[in-house]
Amino acid sequence: MEPASRKNLDRIWRREADTMLALAADPAHWESPTAAGHWQVRDVIAHMADTTAVYLNSFAAARGKADPVGPLNVRDMARIMDEDALALRNVAQDELLARLRGLLDEILKVTGELSDSEWTELLVPHKYMGPVPACFLPICQVLDYIVHTWDIREGLDDCHVLNADAADILVPVCFLMWQNTSDTAGTEPFSIGIRVTTGPHAGTTRADITGDGIAFTPGPVDDQHTVLEFDPASLVLAAFGRANTGTCRGDQRLAGRFLNLFYRI
C-alpha cells in the first residue's frame, strides 16, 4: 500500500468504524447473531478491541517501548482470536464500546504520525506473521471493519451491500489473503485465471498452484481454460469466506479445486 493511498484508507477506516460502532450501540443488536460464525455483535466488538490493543503493542514494540508478542502459528489464529473475543462477553455494552472507541482513536493517532517512509519501511511485529511493514496493521484494521460490519448487517437480516471504495481497497488484500491461507501440500500443479471486472484494480491475474503454494501473476489469462470472474465485492466475500460468489468460465471442477484450497482465519 503506497503512502499516496493513506488519506483514502484513513477515510474508509473512520467511516466503516463509525458504522460498526453505531450498529453495535443499539441495545437490541448487542446479542444478535452475525455472519462471523457463532459470534454475536458483542463478540465482534470484543474482537476489534482485542486486536486493536495487540496492534498498539506491536507499534510500541517496533519503537522499543514494549515486548513483541509471537509470532504464533497462523493456523491457530482463528482459535485464539475466538477465545480472546469470548473472554470479554461479560463486559458491559457501554464499557466495551467506549474501550474500542478509545483504542480506535489511539491507533488512528499512532498511524497518522507515521512518516511516509515509515509507512512502508518500518517493520512492526505481527502476532502471527512476524515482522511486517507498518502499513500492514492499518490495512488489517480496515479489512476487519469492512468485513465485520458486513457480518453484523448480514446477521440483522437486512438487505445490504459493500461500499464500492471499501470493496475496491480490499481487492489486492484478497490475493494476499489467499496466498497466506492456502493448504496446497500434495496438490498436483494446475493453473487458473482470475478476472476482476470493475473498479481501479480491474484486470486479470494468473494463479499457478503447486505443492509449494500459490503464485499470482498479473497479466493475460487468454491461455487459461478456466477463469473465475468477480466484481470487487464478490471477490472480498469469497476470499474472506463469507459467500460462495463469482462466475466460472470453463471447468467448474477446476474452479472448485482452487476455491477449496483455503482455510479460514
pLDDT digits (tens, 9 = 90+) for 49-77: 999 999 999 999 999 999 999 899 988 99
Question: In terms of domains, do 98 and 173 share one?
Answer: no
Question: In terms of domains, do 51 and 122 share one?
Answer: yes
Question: In terms of domains, do 140 and 178 share one?
Answer: no
Question: In terms of domains, do 244 and 221 share one?
Answer: yes
Q: Which of 83-87, 117-121, 243-247, 261-265 has the lowest mean pLDDT?
A: 261-265
Q: Is the pLDDT of residue 14 over 90?
A: yes
Q: Is the pLDDT of residue 265 over 90?
A: no
Domain containing residue 19: CATH number: 1.20.120.450
pLDDT digits (tens, 9 = 90+) for 153-204: 999 988 999 999 999 999 999 999 999 899 999 999 999 999 999 999 999 9
Question: In terms of domains, do 138 and 37 share one?
Answer: yes
Number of domains in the chain: 2
Q: Which three cell numbers stand for residue 78?
A: 482463528
Q: What pLDDT, on the 0 to 100 scale, is given for residue 158?
A: 87
Within a domain: 265: no
Domain containing residue 226: CATH number: 3.30.1050.10
Q: Where are the alpha helices (DSSP H) in 28-163?
A: 41-62, 77-86, 93-112, 116-121, 136-155
Q: Is the pLDDT of residue 2 over 90?
A: no
Question: In terms of domains, do 124 and 173 share one?
Answer: no
Question: Rounded CA gap, 181 and 74, in Å?
Answer: 8
Average the pLDDT over 9-24 and give the result.
98
Question: In terms of domains, do 46 and 126 share one?
Answer: yes
Question: In terms of domains, do 40 and 153 share one?
Answer: yes
Question: In terms of domains, do 109 and 230 share one?
Answer: no
Question: In terms of domains, do 36 and 111 share one?
Answer: yes
Question: Rounded CA gap, 3 and 85, in Å?
Answer: 32
Q: Residue 236: which of 158, 148, 157 has the closest Cα? A: 148
Question: Considering the chain, what is the average pLDDT of its residues?
Answer: 97
**Domain boundary at 116, 138, 160, which?**
160
Q: Is the pLDDT of residue 263 over 90?
A: no
The bridge status of strand 190-196 relative to strand 203-210 is antiparallel
**Domain boundary at 160, 188, 211, which?**
160
pLDDT band at 264 (very low <50, low <70, confident <90, very high): confident
Range of the domain at 251: 169-259
**Domain boundary at 136, 160, 184, which?**
160
Within a domain: 20: yes
Question: In terms of domains, do 69 and 175 share one?
Answer: no
pLDDT digits (tens, 9 = 90+) for 227-256: 999 999 999 999 999 999 999 999 999 999
Question: In terms of domains, do 21 and 48 share one?
Answer: yes
